[in-house]
Structure 1
Amino acid sequence: MLDDLAIRLRQNVGLATAVLLFCILYLLYNLAHPRGFSSAVLVQNGDEIFALAMLAMAQTVPVLMSGLDLSVGAVMTMVACFASYLLTGNPLPLEFFGLHSGLGTFPGGIAGILLGTAICVAIGTFAGFVNGCVVVYGRIQPIIATLATGAIYIGIALFLRPTPGGKIDEDLNWVMTNSLGDFASTVHVFDDGAAAWFAPFAWIPVPFVLLVLIALVVWVPFRRSVLGRAVYAIGSAEGAAYMSGLPIERAKIAAFTLGGFFAGCGGLFLAIQTSSGNADIPQAGAYTLNSIASVVIGGTSLLGGTGSAIGSIFGAMILRVISFFFRIFDIAPLLQPLFEGLILLAAVSIGALHVLRVKNTLELFR
Structure 2
Amino acid sequence: MNDLAFRLRDARATLSAVAVFVALFALYTLNHPAGFSANVVQTAANKGVLLAFVAVGQTFVVLTAGIDLSVGAVFILANCLASVVVTGSPGAVALGVAAVLGTGLACGLANGALVVYGRLQPIVATIASGAIYFGLALALRPEPGGDVDSTLADAVTGQLAFGVPASAVVLLAVMLLVWVPFRRSLIGRAVYAVGSAEASAYLSGLPIRRARLLAYASAGLFSAMGGLMLAFFTYSGEASASNASTYTLDSIAAIVIGGVSLFGGAGSAVGAVFGALIFRTINDLLFVFDLDPLWQPLFLGLVLLGAVSLGSARLLRLKNRLELFGS
For residues 333 and 166 of structure 1, the distance between their equivalents in structure 2, rounded to whole angstroms, comes to 31
Figure out how many residues of one structure are paired with residues of the other and give that number: 322
What is the aligned partner in structure 1 of residue 214 from structure 2?
Answer: 254
CA drift at 1:361 = 11
For residues 221 and 60 of structure 2, the distance between their equivalents in structure 1, rounded to whole angstroms, comes to 11
For residues 316 and 209 of structure 2, the distance between their equivalents in structure 1, rounded to whole angstroms, comes to 31
- Structure 2 residue 119 is matched with structure 1 residue 120: no
What is the aligned partner in structure 1 of residue 114 from structure 2?
Answer: 134
CA drift at 1:148 = 0.7
Unpaired segments ≥5 residues, structure 1: 90-107, 181-200
For residues 104 and 278 of structure 2, the distance between their equivalents in structure 1, rounded to whole angstroms, comes to 25
For residues 149 and 178 of structure 2, the distance between their equivalents in structure 1, rounded to whole angstroms, comes to 27
Structure-to-structure mapping, 1:60-79, within 5 angstroms: 60-79=59-78
- Structure 2 residue 123 is matched with structure 1 residue 143: yes
Could you tell me the TM-score, scaled by structure 2's length? 0.95
CA drift at 1:356 = 1.8
Q: 1:260–1:32: structure 2 CA closer, same or farther, 3 Å change rule?
A: same
- Structure 2 residue 89 is matched with structure 1 residue 109: yes
Paired AA for residue 31 in structure 2 = A
Aligned to 2:206, what secondary structure does the other structure show?
A: coil
For residues 337 and 60 of structure 1, the distance between their equivalents in structure 2, rounded to whole angstroms, comes to 23
What is the aligned partner in structure 2 of residue 225 from structure 1?
Answer: 185
CA drift at 1:3 = 6.0
For residues 152 and 334 of structure 1, the distance between their equivalents in structure 2, rounded to whole angstroms, comes to 32
1:60-100 per-position Cα deviation (integer Å, ceiling 9, x unaligned): 0110011100000000100110000112x3xxxxxxxxxxx
CA drift at 1:336 = 2.1
Larger CA deviation: 238-247 vs 350-359: 350-359
- Structure 2 residue 305 is matched with structure 1 residue 305: no
The higher radius of gyration belongs to 1
For residues 328 and 343 of structure 1, the distance between their equivalents in structure 2, rounded to whole angstroms, comes to 17
1:169 to 149, 157, 162: 149
1:126-153 per-position Cα deviation (integer Å, ceiling 9, x unaligned): 1101111111110011111111100000
What is the aligned partner in structure 1 of residue 7 from structure 2?
Answer: 8
Aligned to 1:271, what secondary structure does the other structure show?
A: helix
What is the aligned partner in structure 2 of residue 346 from structure 1?
Answer: 306
Paired AA for residue 223 in structure 2 = A
Structure-to-structure mapping, 1:12-27, within 5 angstroms: 12-27=11-26
Displacement over 6 Å in runs of 4+: none
CA drift at 1:218 = 0.7
For residues 236 and 204 of structure 1, the distance between their equivalents in structure 2, rounded to whole angstroms, comes to 38
Aligned to 1:145, what secondary structure does the other structure show?
A: helix
Paired AA for residue 313 in structure 2 = L
Structure-to-structure mapping, 1:312-331, within 5 angstroms: 312-331=272-291
Aligned to 2:163, what secondary structure does the other structure show?
A: coil
1:336-358 per-position Cα deviation (integer Å, ceiling 9, x unaligned): 22222111111111112211211
For residues 320 and 42 of structure 1, the distance between their equivalents in structure 2, rounded to whole angstroms, comes to 12
For residues 228 and 349 of structure 1, the distance between their equivalents in structure 2, rounded to whole angstroms, comes to 27
Could you tell me the TM-score, scaled by structure 1's length? 0.85
CA drift at 1:332 = 2.2
CA drift at 1:172 = 2.7
1:18-51 per-position Cα deviation (integer Å, ceiling 9, x unaligned): 1111010001111111212111111111111111
For residues 183 and 10 of structure 2, the distance between their equivalents in structure 1, rounded to whole angstroms, comes to 16
Structure-to-structure mapping, 1:176-187, within 5 angstroms: 176-180=156-160
What is the aligned partner in structure 2 of residue 33 from structure 1?
Answer: 32
Does the CA contact (< 8 Å) of 2:254 and 2:275 recur in 1? yes
1:204 to 164, 173, 197: 164
Larger CA deviation: 171-180 vs 221-230: 171-180
CA drift at 1:317 = 0.2
Aligned to 1:168, what secondary structure does the other structure show?
A: coil
For residues 118 and 30 of structure 1, the distance between their equivalents in structure 2, rounded to whole angstroms, comes to 37
What is the aligned partner in structure 1 of residue 325 from structure 2?
Answer: none
For residues 217 and 287 of structure 2, the distance between their equivalents in structure 1, rounded to whole angstroms, comes to 36
CA drift at 1:8 = 2.7
1:173-209 per-position Cα deviation (integer Å, ceiling 9, x unaligned): 32221101xxxxxxxxxxxxxxxxxxxx441101100
Larger CA deviation: 215-224 vs 333-342: 333-342
Q: 1:25–1:295: structure 2 CA closer, same or farther, 3 Å change rule?
A: same
Paired AA for residue 161 in structure 1 = R
For residues 14 and 343 of structure 1, the distance between their equivalents in structure 2, rounded to whole angstroms, comes to 16
CA drift at 1:171 = 2.5
CA drift at 1:360 = 9.0
Q: 1:317–1:158: structure 2 CA closer, same or farther, 3 Å change rule?
A: same
Larger CA deviation: 2-11 vs 31-40: 2-11
What is the aligned partner in structure 2 of residue 153 from structure 1?
Answer: 133
Larger CA deviation: 305-314 vs 111-120: 111-120
CA drift at 1:168 = 1.9
Paired AA for residue 46 in structure 1 = A
